[in-house]
Chain A
Amino acid sequence: MSEEQKDVVIAAYLFEDLAQKDFDAVLKLAEEKTITVEGVVLVQKDAEGEVQVTETGDHLGRKGLKIGGGVGLVVGLFAPPLLAATAVGAALGGLTGKFAKHRLESGIGKKMDEALPPSSGGVIAVYDSGGADTVDKALVNAVKKSVAQIEGMSAKKLKAGLAEAQAGMGG
């Protein structure tokens, strides 16, 4: 399998805290270098129906963005312009490190909004396809998962992968 082959997974949860738990589990795998993660995003929909990005994680298993601009999560897949254009849009704003409480504004965000009921959560992760089984097991509490594969990293490919994964979530 090519190292450039990546999986894009979208996982939906009935409960926020279980999404958080799986999000942490994936990050731990990254931290332990069990898998190679390009980036992970935890989104939550509150009781009022607002969808927000509450946490992000990078390839080193670090939460949030303590990296200012250009390293960690931002390097590679979730480089600010790319991320802004794809998964969470304006959520990362000006890379201030305040990732919570921002509404998803991109197309994928809207679809996640539709897919998630109130007080639920979702995880979006991009990782080397070789870690697929491991990630699948880590997302143990997901009620629904959809995976797409992309060859190599680019904004265009990531968008396509996210769209394909989202389509797999169905109604």
Chain B
Amino acid sequence: MSDEAIDRSKLPIRRPQFQGKVERTLDGSQPDWNYVAPIPAPEGAPNVLLVLTDDAGFGNPSGFGGPISTPTLDRLGEGGLTYNCLHTTALCSPTRAALMTGRNHHPVGFGMIGEFAGPFPGYSATLPKDCMPFPKTLQGNGYSTACFGKWHLTPDNVQGPSGPFDRWPNGVGFDYFWGFLGGESGQFDPVIIENNTAIGVPEDEDFYLPDALADKTIEWLHGVRAHGSDKPWFAYFSTGCSHAPHQVGTDWSEKYKGKFDQGWDKLREETFERQKQLGVIPADAELTPRPDAMPAWDSLDPNHQRLYARQMEVYAGYCENADWNIGRVIDAIDEMGELENTLVIYIWGDNGASMEGTLTGTFNELATLNGVPLTDEQQLQLVLKWGGLEAWGTDMMGPHYSAAWAWAGNCPFQWGKQVASHLGGTRDPMVVHWPKRIAEQGGLRPQFTHVIDIGPTILEAVGLPQPTHVDGVEQQPMHGTSFLYSLDDAAAAERHTQQYFEILGNRAMYKDGWWLSWMMPRIPWQLDPETLKRFAPGVWDPESDPVELYYLPDDFTQAKNVADQYPEKVEELKKLFWEEAERYDVFPLLGGLTGFFGMRPPIPAQSQFTYYSDVQNVASGMIPRIFNHSYTISADLEIPEGGAEGVIVAEADHLGGFSLFVQDGKLRHTYAFLGVLEFRQESEAPLPTGSVNVRMEFAADAPEPATGGEVTLYVDDEPVGGGRIEHTVPARFSGYAGMDIGRDNGLPVDRNYADRSPFVFTGTVKKVVFDINPHLTEEHEQELHEHLEQALAGQAINA
């Protein structure tokens, strides 16, 4: 079938007209072999490799003057083009939604992250069917397609085997997916999803997720070609690096030993000078100053300086490894002889470097995300507890570095992730490499670009139209602008001339070089109730937030606020922002991390959850809602003569989780309070044999966030032991680790059985039943329900 004969405007493409002839028998029949041929891609269409790293800053990679060695990014830039004005949304899911759909993040439901779906069109975390991601277009037009790594576009409550799967990667245009659905993953103990199935935690002791992602990508590329296919392919390589937890082997982190002893102030100055030398920023650019909220490096005591230096050493090693793995994929493509006609788009970061570790950094980011306040001193003690500096970067911790390192990594800009009002949150490096098409090598492209431009650019590059209909649903036009025009002309006038930015109340409006910053008066990592109250409905007036105005052609770094000099321009851009916000479903502004404060979802009807013995890897966001109130876990067991041991049910790990298990004949319950405290209870006597019911009953002091309470253990309804849990986890145990029946996959909740992981139960677990509403009065339930959204607000920064 000739390319002209194919109507590619509607997907799926209709079957062709049969051009042969059919008689009663083969006698006289004339074949039409085009009728059985698959839909071809446009003639000469290139392969496409789209690379996205996570939580990474403009001033991190060596190709952009940073301290982290990124030879892959650098060589692709030297052989292709470097873009120094690429923008993201300033948050993970929103950027990914914009990247995949070619549309602004709010109108595709991702004003927020996938873990936090809300009841407004701009915040539903549900990709609308009339904004289908562009991989679906490639898939329907003769491409083999695959996604590896972080997805973060599947709502939190539909990540199990019951689906629906229409917003999993396979449902939006990917033939193959291997990675994780949520916002983050442990590097050593991920729960891997392959297509529509959770295949669990790899048991290989040497497993390291960033390496495995490259292995799987190369394996898939080889597989595509091994089967005689000459189809072009599209691979979306979305490494979870450098999102927390920052974990990497010492062979990578040791490369940076001592490299950050000079501190973040000096590092930023060094980076800035290199950026000028490389030409990725203008020679007359000014370095923006450190905000008052961050301490001067020289003001820190030796303990903190060394701890912080180690944090950055690990982060740098983690990032270099990611770039190395991307290099392995590039090398494999080259070895296959296909690099010449492969369009590689390598984006360093889905937002600016993350400040979510707070000023001290944290040994366990989930402690921060649950709003557990830890002092500097406590952080140091907990680092000591879990193995000291040597353990920072291992799976003993879920670490995140200090916010000040993120600020340094976003050099030369202000602020970082979440702060959509400033370039530190929104601008990231990008290189584009396509030898067959790009004549210039090592060129710089300064045109304003945005992640919503990626889809339109790829479609134009491969010669495909944006479909008007997909699966019968009329499509909204993409909002992005192809930047293909800039490949041949460094001086081409930019075509993407206007763009709004908004994340959690931080706003900006860009138009023709002018940038209006409208930042909420809140330090991004402050999550305390008093801070959040300032942005509650009826309290916060966004119109009264301070504004800044920058003219980027003369002020690359946003160092010169000219709002006072151009009041008319300020008003013009304010007005334009409100218009764009209305047009693109930005309303209602969420008011920081208060989320949907005061707007409660319906009370769930289900209060009992039954799990049979073979259930594993229940997604961390889908475990029973046991938080902040009383609950029971009951299990029917069969214990053979001679006894049994092992885990009955366990969620997550020693950095947050619970485990009901049998060891040394006794029933035991361990509750890991985010790595800060552990609470253990055990039965006084060994369990009997035969059919046995065991139960753990948690009687909360009050239905309120992080409530303490009393645990009682029962065997066949007789109390056999117990104890107190002083503090419970208010929102979530883990960002990725799942719940298992009859075993404890991945890292153990209780380190006392670490050497026997996954500590499979040697008897039989017939079933486990959670009752999450055994003691609540109606009044209590309502109170608790009101607390729920507040408690969940902390999750919003887990992006």
Give A residues with C-beta under 8 Å from B. Answer: 12, 14-15, 18, 47, 115-120, 140-141, 143-144, 171
Other-chain residue from A15, A115, A116, A117 in contact with B391 (beta carbon distance below 8 A): A117
A residues in contact with B380, CB < 8 Å: 14, 143-144
Which residue in B303, B385, B388 is a CB contact (below 8 Å) of A141? Answer: B303
> Please, which residues of chain B bring their CB within 8 A of the CB of A119?
388-390
Chain B interface (Cβ within 8 Å of chain A)? 301-303, 306-307, 377, 380-381, 383-391, 677-678
Q: Across the interface, which residues of A come within 8 angstroms of B381, CB to CB?
A: 143-144
A118-B390, A171-B678 known; A12-B384 Cβ under 8 A: yes
- What are 10 A-B contacts defined by CB distance under 8 Å? A14-B307, A14-B380, A14-B388, A15-B302, A47-B390, A117-B384, A118-B390, A119-B388, A119-B389, A144-B380
* Contact A141 B302, beta carbon cutoff 8 Å: yes
CA distance A115 to B390 in the complex (A): 14
| Chain B residues near A171 (CB-CB < 8 A) | 385, 677-678
Q: Which residue of A lies closest to B396 (CB)?
A: A117
Residues in chain A near residue B303, CB distance under 8 A: 14-15, 18, 141, 143
Q: Which residues of B contact A12 (CB under 8 A)?
A: 384
Q: What are the residues of chain B within 8 A of A47 when measuring CB–CB?
A: 390
Q: What are the nearest 8 A-B pairs in CB distance?
A: A117-B388, A143-B380, A117-B387, A144-B381, A118-B390, A143-B384, A120-B388, A143-B381
Q: How far is the CA of A116 from the CA of B384 in the complex (A)?
A: 7
A108 → chain B, closest Cβ, in Å?
17
Given contacts A118-B390, A143-B303, 5 further A-B contacts (CB under 8 A): A14-B389, A15-B303, A117-B384, A117-B390, A118-B387
Establish whether residues B306 and A14, one from each chain, have CB atoms under 8 Å apart when the complex forms.
yes
| Bound-complex Cα distance A115 to B387 (A) | 9
Asked if A117 meets B302 with Cβ closer than 8 Å, knowing A14-B380, A143-B380, the reply is no
Q: In the bound complex, what is the Cα–Cα distance between A119 and B306 (angstroms)?
A: 13
The winner among A116, A117, A120, A141 for most chain B CB atoms within 10 A is A117
When distances are taken between beta carbons in the complex, the residues of chain B under 8 Å from A141 are 301-303
Distance between Cα atoms of A120 and B380 in the complex (Å): 12
Whether A118 pairs with B388 at a CB distance below 8 angstroms is: yes
The closest CB in chain B to the CB of A140 belongs to B301
Known: A117-B389, A117-B391, A119-B390. A15 touches B306 (CB 8 A): yes
Of all chain B residues, the one with the shortest Cβ separation from A15 is B306
Residue numbers in B under 8 Å from A118 (CB-CB): 387-388, 390
Complex partner residue of A143 from B377, B391, B678, CB under 8 angstroms: B377
Q: Measured between C-beta atoms, what is the minimum distance from A110 to chain B in Å?
A: 16
Contacts A117-B389, A117-B390, A118-B390 given; does A144 touch B302 at CB 8 Å: no
Closest B residue, CB atoms, query A118: B390
A15-B302, A171-B678 given; A144·B384 CB < 8 A: yes
Give Cα A119 to B391, complex, Å: 11
- The distance in angstroms between the C-alpha atoms of A97 and B444, with both chains bound, is 68
Minimum Cβ distance to chain B for residue A166 (Å): 14
Q: Closest CB-CB distance, A14 to chain B, in whole Å?
A: 6
Question: In whole angstroms, how far apart are the Cα atoms of A161 and B262 in the complex?
Answer: 42
> Chain A residues with Cβ under 8 A from B387's Cβ?
117-118
Residues of B within 8 A of A15 (CB): 302-303, 306, 389
Evaluate contact between B384 and A18: CB separation under 8 angstroms.
no
A118 to B250, CA, bound (A): 14
Please, which residue of chain A has its CB at the minimum distance from the CB of B389? A14
